[in-house]
């Protein structure tokens, strides 16, 4: 039976590949990225896109791939936490999926500003200044992305569904990402290091999912019955 015709194998394969591909695409996007960022003054942003517009455009496209793959990755992690850590799994997956919209929004912003350089510099700089209006929208969404990662990592620790070092590495990486995003650091290497750590942690989880037998993957979605271990009602009735 092919993967496409087997729903269990298909969903398991998509989840495993997405868990590997989402952080890998984010890491690759750092290799072509520059120091642009939402909220920068128009003059600074104009100088950056004038020098690195092509790279920023390519970065946005790759970042879109990462955003798209984040959704099946989140659903795959929630699937692993259906029996233990279900609350953390559901909340974490919801935050991660919502955060993926912020992920996508930032990629669209990159594509938009990458082509802003050209004749009429003053008007374009004023336009780039106005793009800072997306900051109060995108930043909360991208914070939810990190919140979702922490909740899912905590759920994985509770469920012991993967080796413990992987979710701990995710938590440490998210803490480092917060430190980077809310400081004045503009270098690209710290963000590249963050994505590299996520490639290692989520890559290990993705490989674990891909190597799971289909029966084990299917069993992960079967929550234990609330009546499990209880005495059947019929057996509690005394014999006449």
Looking at residue 117, the DSSP 8-state letter turns out to be: -
pLDDT (0 to 100) of residue 233:
43
Give yes or no for a contact between 169 and 201, defined as CB atoms under 8 angstroms apart: yes
The 10 Å Cβ neighbour count of residue 201 is: 26
Q: What is the dihedral of CA 69, 70, 72, 76, to 10 degrees?
A: 130
225 falls within a domain: no
Domain residues for the domain of 53 are 9-219
Phi then psi for 37, rounded to 5 degrees?
A: -165, 150
226 falls within a domain: no
Please enumerate in sequence order all residues whose Cβ is within 8 A of that of 207, keeping only pairs 6 or more positions apart, or say none. Answer: 16, 20
pLDDT (0 to 100) of residue 184:
64
Q: Which letter, b or e, does each residue of 90-123 get, where b requires 16 or more Cβ atoms within 10 Å of its Cβ?
A: bbbbbbbbbbbbbbbbbbebbbbbbebbeeeeee
pTM of the model: 0.83
Concatenate the DSSP letters of all residues of 37-96 into one string.
-TT--HHHHHHHHHHHHHHHHHHHHHHHHHHHHHHHHHHHHHHHTSSSSHHHHHHHHHHH
pLDDT one digit per residue (tens) for the chain, 240 residues: 567 778 888 999 999 999 999 999 999 999 988 888 887 888 888 888 888 889 999 999 999 999 999 999 999 999 888 777 788 889 999 999 999 999 999 999 999 888 887 777 788 888 888 888 888 889 899 899 999 999 999 999 988 888 899 999 999 999 998 888 777 666 678 889 999 999 999 999 999 999 999 888 888 766 554 433 444 444 444 444
Q: Closest by alpha carbon to 200, among 15, 19, 14?
A: 19
34 falls within a domain: yes
236 falls within a domain: no
The token pair that represents 64 in the structure block: 């879109």
237 falls within a domain: no
Domains held by the chain: number: 1
4 falls within a domain: no
198 falls within a domain: yes
235 falls within a domain: no
């Amino acid at each position: 039976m092919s993967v496409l015709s087997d729903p269990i194998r298909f969903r398991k394969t998509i989840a495993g590949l997405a868990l590997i591909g989402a952080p890998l695409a984010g890491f690759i996007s750092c290799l072509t990225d520059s120091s642009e960022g939402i909220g920068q003054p128009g003059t600074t942003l104009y100088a950056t896109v004038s020098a690195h517009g092509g790279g920023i455009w390519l970065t946005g496209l790759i970042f879109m791939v990462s955003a798209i793959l984040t959704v099946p990755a989140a659903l795959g992690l929630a699937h692993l936490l259906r029996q233990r850590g279900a609350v953390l799994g559901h909340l974490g997956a919801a935050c991660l999926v919502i955060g993926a919209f912020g992920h996508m929004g930032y990629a669209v912003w990159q594509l938009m500003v990458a082509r802003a350089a050209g004749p009429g510099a003053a008007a374009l700089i004023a336009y780039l200044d106005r793009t800072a209006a997306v900051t109060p929208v995108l930043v909360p969404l991208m914070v939810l992305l990190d919140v979702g990662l922490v909740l899912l990592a905590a759920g994985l620790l509770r469920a012991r569904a993967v080796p413990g070092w992987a979710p701990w590495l995710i938590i440490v990486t998210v803490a480092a990402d917060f430190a980077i995003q809310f400081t004045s650091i503009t270098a690209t290497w710290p963000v590249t290091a963050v994505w590299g750590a996520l490639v290692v942690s989520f890559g290990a989880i993705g490989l674990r999912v891909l190597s799971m037998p289909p029966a084990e993957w299917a069993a992960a979605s079967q929550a234990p019955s609330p009546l499990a271990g209880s005495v059947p009602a019929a057996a509690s009735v005394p014999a006449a």
